[in-house]
Amino acid sequence: MKPKLKAYLTGFFTLLAPMTAKAGMSESVNEVFGTINHLVGSVIFYDALFFIDGVSLPLAVLWLVVGAMFFTVRMGFINFRGFRHAIDVVRGNYVSKEEAHEELGEVSHFQALTAALSATVGLGNIAGVAIAISLGGPGATFWMITAGLIGMASKFTECTLAQMYRVRRPDGRVMGGPMEYLSKGLADLGKPKLGKFLAGLFAVLCIGGSFGGGGSFQVNQSLSAVKLSIPFLGENAWVYGLLFSFFVGVVILGGIKRIASTAEKIVPVMVGIYLLVSIYILFSHFSHIPEAFASIFSGAFSPEAGYGGFMGVLVVGFQRAAFSNEAGVGSAPIAHAAAVSDHPVREGVVALLEPFIDTVVVCTITALVIIITGAYNDPQYESIRAAKEGAALTSEAFGSVISWFPIVLSVAVCLFAYSTIISWSYYGERCWVYLFGDKYSVFYKILLLVVIFCGAITSATNILEFGDLMILSMAFPNVLGLYFLSGKVKASLDDYRAKYMN
């Protein structure tokens, strides 16, 4: 082990040692998260449907959905018209000679895609889908798919801008994402003060998101599934937290290149295994698939459906989709900014595949398994649903068909959580560097590892709420900037379409 890495990790575990000895640590951390949730939620997530009893719609979710619809129309339905071209780009059919030069970026189109996917294809698909269906019934699946399809346009817009305004830092690493295109892009439009404010606000919220939904939530929810197969870890959660912190620490010191290299190996394997087993379960219950789809469509529009009727089902579906694919949140542009590309739109087109893979494919298949097995309303799982332990509920659904699968799912859940954390660590670290400078990067990494450890020993409900609050709140400064800058993206898209898509 390298001396720098050894000293780094030794210091981290020395810091955690006294924390593990405190019997009330879990309760203290839980109380802190609860306080933060109350303060942030009451201010930022004002109920947009306050006039309807029994249904609440966080303003952030409405903000994302309206934005996605606007960008879908503004960009000429690029989410559908550019789909085949996006696949061709990922396959390498449009790689130019200029794109062979590293000075245009740090990673390939495929590596950027997998790095961003590793942050979105994860426990939102396993845990989030189960929670959505347990709250809103099968109909929530329809609205998750809808949100995923229109979210492709938001992802295209933000990732194109990330390429347009990226810069190379003195240390040689690429800096891009909302921090850059909000500050520089709005300055180009004569709004420098607004741009700096939105960029700074986004950076702070992104750091919080990396600690919450991108960090502690991942450890907490993965543990809820793993402890079913390995009871020892359930009884000694701090051991799980330490192990996760150690393996995350080993990777995040290497920056985007090591993260992308790890992601391009983990993501295809973990998604492939998960989908193969899911498809096996679906085919073994093939006769029930039409009935499952019928319940999805009827539940989506039924006034009596699920939590709060039709509007409640819609809200639940949109909210979980927003947390799952993060379209419009501004996280993925930070990864796509580092991709080697000689035209901004080319990387934006690649990025629009993410919500499709994440929500339309993976989330739908998970939902079908949960619906067909009936786990979402089975009385024996009531305690799991009440605690919002979505990963555990999904594990029970798969285990009801394949008795040994919870063990495999435990491994898959760990990989999903691990890949998500390492990608979000990059997002958070880049925002930290934007605010404080390159030389203070190590402080962020130490804090992240402490938060990851804490995530293993605190309440799943509070962690879930904190993750939603921080990640969804990033959409406010990001989408506002996208509205202002959408004209620049449209002009670039017209230029690219004339050259490559006609």
| pLDDT band with cut points at 50, 70 and 90 for residue 96 | low
pLDDT digits (tens, 9 = 90+) for 238-274: 788 788 888 787 777 655 565 656 666 666 777 777 7
| pLDDT band with cut points at 50, 70 and 90 for residue 182 | very high
pLDDT digits (tens, 9 = 90+) for 321-333: 766 777 888 888 8
**Residue among 265, 261, 243, 248 nearest 210 (CA):** 248
Whether the CB-CB separation of 358 and 125 falls below 8 Å is answered with: yes
Report whether pLDDT(22) > 50.
no
| pLDDT band with cut points at 50, 70 and 90 for residue 308 | very low
The pLDDT of residue 314: 67
- Distance set, CA 95 to CA 9, 41, 99, 337 (Å): 40, 45, 6, 17
What are the φ/ψ torsions at residue 176 (nearest 5 degrees)?
A: -155, 170
**Reported pTM:** 0.79
**Residue among 480, 452, 475 nearest 151 (CA):** 475
Alpha carbon distance 266, 421 (integer Å):
13
The set of residues, in sequence order, having a beta carbon less than 8 Å from that of 345 and lying 6+ positions away, is 160, 489, 492, 493, 495, 496
The pLDDT of residue 100: 47
Strand pairing category for 167-168 and 174-175: antiparallel
- Three-class SS string for 325-354? HCCCCCCHHHHHCCECCCCHHHHHHHHCHH
The mean pLDDT of 89-105, rounded to a whole number, is: 58
Q: Which of 64-68, 335-339, 420-424 has the highest mean pLDDT?
A: 64-68
pLDDT digits (tens, 9 = 90+) for 270-296: 777 777 888 888 888 888 888 888 888
| pLDDT band with cut points at 50, 70 and 90 for residue 307 | very low
Q: In terms of pLDDT, which residue wins out, 128 or 16?
A: 128
Whether the CB-CB separation of 348 and 489 falls below 8 Å is answered with: yes
The pLDDT of residue 296: 83
Alpha carbon distance 384, 159 (integer Å):
37
Q: For residue 455, how many other CB atoms are within 10 A of its CB?
A: 32
DSSP 216: I
At 130, list the tokens. Answer: 């189960």
Whether the CB-CB separation of 253 and 9 falls below 8 Å is answered with: no
Report whether pLDDT(220) > 70.
yes
In the block, which residue shows the tokens 């880049």?
430
Helix (H) or strand (E) holding 167: strand 167-168
| DSSP bridge pairs for 175 | 167
Report whether pLDDT(397) > 50.
yes
If 0-12 CB within 10 Å is exposed, 13-18 middle and 19+ buried, where does residue 32 land? middle
The mean pLDDT of 69-88, rounded to a whole number, is: 90
In the block, which residue shows the tokens 């799943």?
460
Helix (H) or strand (E) holding 399: helix 390-399
Alpha carbon distance 327, 155 (integer Å):
5
Alpha carbon distance 329, 315 (integer Å):
17
| DSSP bridge pairs for 167 | 175
The pLDDT of residue 400: 76
Structural domains for the chain: 8-500 (1.20.1740)
Alpha carbon distance 332, 151 (integer Å):
13
Whether the CB-CB separation of 86 and 109 falls below 8 Å is answered with: no
Q: For residue 292, how many other CB atoms are within 10 A of its CB?
A: 19
The mean pLDDT value of the chain amounts to 76
The pLDDT of residue 384: 75
